[in-house]
Structure 1
Amino acid sequence: MAKKANNKKPKGELGLLSLTALVVGSMIGGGIFNLMQDMSAEASLLAIIIGWLIAGVGMVLLAFSFQNLNRKRPDLDAGVYSYAEAGFGKFMGFSSAWGYWISAWIGNVSYAALLFGSVAYFFSIFDDGRNTASVIGASVMLWLVAWLINRGIKTSSLSNLIVTIAKLVPIGIFVVAIMAAFKYDLLTADVWGKMLEGSPDLMTQIKSTTLITVWVFIGVEGAVIFSGRAKKRSDVGKATFIGLSLVTAIYLLTTILSLAVLSQPEIAELSQPAMAGVLESVVGKWGAILVNLGLVVSVLGGWLAWTMFAVELPYQAAKNKTFPKWFAKENSRGVPTTSLVITSVLIQLFLLSFLIPNLNAYSFLFSLASSAILVPYLFVALFQLKSSWQEKASTPGRTRNMVIGLLATVYAVWLLYAADVNYMLLSVLLYAPGAVIYAIMRIYQKKKPFTMYELVVVVVLALLAIYAVSQLAISGSDLNLILFPAE
């Protein structure tokens, strides 16, 4: 951003290599530390490879959509949801913001689950990270961070550097060590997944990877924020493509290489994070210590930034009059206190999921977070397609942008189709209260709550919510019976 005293636009300082490094660094999160277990639990080698290829191509298309919209509609700077609002109306904009916010704070809870799985390696009181001690520990962390944010603390470049090092060093050592211990016969022992429980067909296996790939790619839109710092605009698209290709390759490597040192059943039995157990099987106990320490430092260092992001979403939406205005209430330090308190309370409630018997809290939470963000991503793809279609035929790049929008939309629809229907139903229960809050907000503003087509959407949402509640009632509120009905 240019300084007020100077009307000249500052010259970008980042070349292609630097931009690519930023994209890679911003994309890889704590989810990679348990990726091999999440993937191999329900998918074979072939399904995993196909799943990553679909995700890699799809996410590149979404990233290009974000970049294109950011370039041609700089006025829509309120957030990802602003594209849904501009293209499909106020309620769709609200729903997109609501889903994006849900994904953000539930994602925080999932990282807390993964964190205490690692802390448990050093302190047995936390058992496997799914007990009362873990809930208490996570609660203390949650409200300590909330207090710090309320005091006006900000993240620093030093903390970001520490988090990046804590992530990348264990991953680098892991890849090198596993490549040295590579066993081809073990890797190819069950390419088609015939030994998986229930012997699912290939398409079922590929679909099972969907929410996992979405989870580790959440934040793909962050690649756009570096565009203003590029020396050459043409480098932005190149960096995004190269960066996302590298990230996909890293995810693919960590997943596939693990299957070359341990069998799928062995990986499935590992404690979280699974990367620690896989590396320990190759180099000894120090490998598990390194990975667990790396994850602890990474998550603790990133917790503040993630919480601030989750708090900022409804705050910015409220300032844009998309969310109720009380989300925009600030304290004397300019901190959105109402948003902070509500977000923290919701996180606190979902920390109790650690105590649900026989439920893998981390897997449950990241799957729910992934399900919630599918709708916002769909709206971005649709708006890319719609805005490109509405341009004049002579507009440079119109055909290219239409193709990107069409393919990104196909990918977004695939995500909705392939996502676990049970998680989608649970996410409906989180979306439904949003429709009520939106209606109250519009009535308070003395405006018509819904247009006719929005009302149709609300009715469908309500029916799905009723069905989801009925399923909860039938199962006796046992999430395991809903998520895993065949077991």
Structure 2
Amino acid sequence: MSTQPSSNESKLGFLALTAMVVGSMVGAGIFMLPRRFAEATGVIGTGLTWLIAGTGMLMLALVFQTLAVRQPTLDAGVFAYAKAGFGNYVGFIAAVGFWASACAGNVTYLVLIKSTLGAVIPGLGEGDTILALVLSSAMIWAFVALILRGVQQAALINTIATVAKLVPIILFVIVTILAFDHRVFIDNLMGGEAATADVLFGQVRATMLITVFVFLGIEGASIYSRYAKTRRDVGRATVLGFVSVLALLAAITMLAYGVMPRAEMAALRQPSLAGVLTHAVGPWGGVLISAGLIVSVLGAYLAWTLMAAEVVLAAAKNQDMPAALGRVSKTGVPKNALLVSAALTQLILLATFLTDGALDFALDLTGSLALLPFFLTAVFAVKIALTRDGYDEVSAKTRRRDLIVGGIAVVYTAFLIYAAGLKFLLLSCLLLAPATVLYLVARREQRHPFFKRYETLILVVLIIGAAVALHGLLTGWIAI
């Protein structure tokens, strides 16, 4: 994953890229959907959420498709668009945001595994006990040791995990269709709340971050775009993979409302998909989902560990992070990038352990950290459409279409940032501001000026945000 493929035969085709998008998106989040939605809303709110999230994320998928065609030289992933459009430091911030999101996502996987096992091993609780912390920490470094031996061995685990997660998910859909009770479904329409615009808006806003989490991976084909046989396959794979996953996510959440009352579903322990299936068919259903989840999450953890290292490697290769992070071992593994990613994962795990709801906090942090890279990507798409960059010999109709799609994606990602709330925005600053040290080292290595005037202003805003976040944590104003 660290070197350019030597021949066209070794590159990825359309189906392989589509599988990469689907595999990246279908991970831990899908197993947590019933409870997270039931905690916030009923059937109507869920339908509105998927309509808004589906439309917004489809626009973002189309943005990735457009950029793959219009900017074919930008093949370092999501942060490359931010750098090309808004300068080196903004590109670095986008890279760190996406990198930190991948590491926080891995923490979610670790906590979820322990919460699943906690159903039979009380000492693990819901993934938030001392024993769970110790075992999760051991897993971080065990996976590092595995990957350092070579990506080929890691790929075998990922293949097994893909099969393991699809079987119980497909079974869940089939069983819930058979067990569907329209009376329960109707009772869950509003979940016991008044059907007013204000109530629905609040319910939809409360579910937005979980949709971001389950859609993470939509940019998977873009991250590995330099391995594609043709650039057009990158965008097509992103759109097809997204539509397939959206249909699966919407089906699972809607069908669950026809099996259990909202209040009971909201009280389930995670993974709540197991609880819903247990309610429908008995204990064996929960055991099957839990087993599939553990294997699935192990594969997702592996994929996102590699993804996090790839982001750091790409940033180092583009001279946005220290050169040492761009070194590759004899087995083809970006060793230093992998180690620094594991260290950040460990740090976030420790922070998560101090929270009341470890799993929900890690999940929401993951989604919030990904928002800035997505927002900047959408803004960049609008910028090139306005300036006609990459639109030589392209019809005015096509450019207008791309401008509209990009504009909707900008509005949607801006709404997501609003929905995430001030707390997660400030916590993001607490990660981004100290990470600037890596940027300063890289700039010094290249003997380039540290900041332009507007970049200095951005740094000042990040430092202020980090200071406010730290003060809020110490005084209890920000509760985690």
Provide TM-score, normalisation by structure 2: 0.89
Q: Which amino acid aligns with 1:218?
A: L
How many Å apart are 1:483 and its aligned residue? 4.2
Whole-angstrom CA distance in 2 between matches of 1:334 and 1:25: 22
In structure 2, relative to structure 1, the CA distance for the partners of 1:229 and 1:77 (3 Å cut) is closer
Cα distance in 2 for partners of 1:455, 1:139 equals 37
1:387 corresponds to: 384
- Determine if the alignment matches structure 1 residue 70 to structure 2 residue 72: no
Check whether the contact 1:193–1:200 (CA below 8 A) recurs between aligned residues: no
The amino acid of 1:66's aligned partner reads F
CA contact (8 A) 1:170 1:294 kept: yes
2:409 aligned partner, one-letter code: A
Amino acid at match of 2:394: T
* Post-superposition offset of 1:273: 0.4
Q: What is the match of residue 472 of structure 2?
A: 471
**Could you tell me which residue of structure 2 aligns to residue 421 of structure 1?**
422
Aligned to 1:342: 340
Q: Would you say 1:128 and 2:133 are equivalent positions? A: no
Partner of 1:478: none
1:38-437 pair list within 5 angstroms: 38-155=36-153, 158-195=156-193, 201-224=199-222, 240-353=238-351, 355-356=353-354, 359-391=356-388, 395-396=394-395, 397-437=398-438
Q: Distance in 1 between matches of 2:288 and 2:364?
A: 27
Residues 365 and 2 (structure 1), Cα distance of their counterparts in 2 relative to 1, 3 Å cut? closer
**Could you tell me whether the CA contact under 8 Å between 1:30 and 1:167 is conserved in 2?**
no
Deviations 1:350-383 (A, max 9, x none): 32345436x2211101110111111111111111
Cα gap change, 1:260/1:227 in structure 2, threshold over 3 Å: closer, same or farther? farther
Counterparts of 2:142 and 2:4 in 1: how far apart (Å)? 36
Q: Distance in 1 between matches of 2:99 and 2:12?
A: 32
Amino acid at match of 1:101: W
On the 8 A contact 2:225/2:231 being kept in 1, the answer is: no
Provide the rounded CA distance (Å) in 2 between the counterparts of 1:14 and 1:460.
43
1:72 shift after superposition: 2.2
Q: Cα deviations across residues 25-68 of structure 1 (Å, max 9, x unaligned)?
A: 44311210011111221223222111111111111111111122
Q: In 2, Cα distance between the equivalents of 1:438 and 1:186?
A: 55
Q: CA deviation at 1:148?
A: 1.8
* TM-aligned CA deviation for residue 423 of structure 1: 1.6
Relative to structure 1, the CA distance from residue 363 to residue 326 in structure 2 (aligned partners, 3 Å threshold; closer, same or farther) is same
Secondary structure of residue in 2 paired with 1:270? coil
Q: Give the length in aligned residue pairs.
A: 471
Q: For the Cα contact (< 8 Å) 2:273–2:289, is it kept in 1?
A: yes
Q: Secondary structure at the match of 2:180?
A: coil
Deviates more, 1:299-308 or 1:383-392: 299-308
Shift of 1:155: 4.9
Return the letter of the residue paired with 1:482: I
CA contact (8 A) 2:148 2:335 kept: yes
Shift of 1:104: 0.8
- Match of 1:183, as an amino acid? D
Task: Determine the C-alpha separation between the residues in 2 that align with 1:338 and 1:226.
Answer: 22
- Whole-angstrom CA distance in 2 between matches of 1:157 and 1:472: 40
Of 21-30 and 70-79, deviating more is 21-30
What 5-or-longer segments of structure 2 have no aligned partner? none
Quote the Cα distance in structure 1 between the aligned partners of 2:110 and 2:89.
32
Question: Contact 2:352 / 2:361 at 8 angstroms: preserved in 1?
Answer: no
CA–CA distance in 2 between the matches of 1:163 and 1:290?
A: 14
Structure 1 CA distance for aligned equivalents of residues 444 and 466 of structure 2: 23
The Cα shift of 1:194 comes to: 4.5
Please, which moves more after superposition, 42-51 or 277-286?
A: 42-51
Retained in 1: the 8 A contact 2:127–2:359? no
Q: Deviations over 1:221-272 (max 9, x none)?
A: 1245589868995x87666444423322211121122122222221122111
Change (3 A) 1:143 1:19: closer
Identity of aligned residues (%): 38
Q: Deviations over 1:48-102 (max 9, x none)?
A: 1111111111111111111221222221112211111111000011001010110
Q: What is the RMSD computed on CA atoms of the aligned residues?
A: 2.9
Deviation at 1:283, TM superposition (A): 0.4
Give the AA of the match of 1:395: V
CA contact (8 A) 2:100 2:344 kept: no
Q: For residues 421 and 106 of structure 2, what CA distance do their matches in structure 1 show? A: 21
CA–CA separation in structure 2 for the residues paired with 1:160 and 1:256: 29
Rounded to whole Å, the distance in 2 between the matches of 1:190 and 1:240 is 33
Distance in 1 (CA, whole Å) between partners of 2:210 and 2:348 is 20
Alpha-carbon spacing, 1:136–1:158, altered in 2? closer, same or farther (3 Å) = same
- Aligned AA (1:126): L
8 Å contact 1:113–1:354 — kept in the other structure?
no
Report the Cα distance in structure 2 between the residues aligned to 1:147 and 1:474, rounded to whole angstroms.
39
- Shift in Å, 1:445: 3.9
Question: Is the alpha carbon distance of 1:470 and 1:41 closer, same or farther for their aligned partners in structure 2, counting shifts above 3 Å?
Answer: same
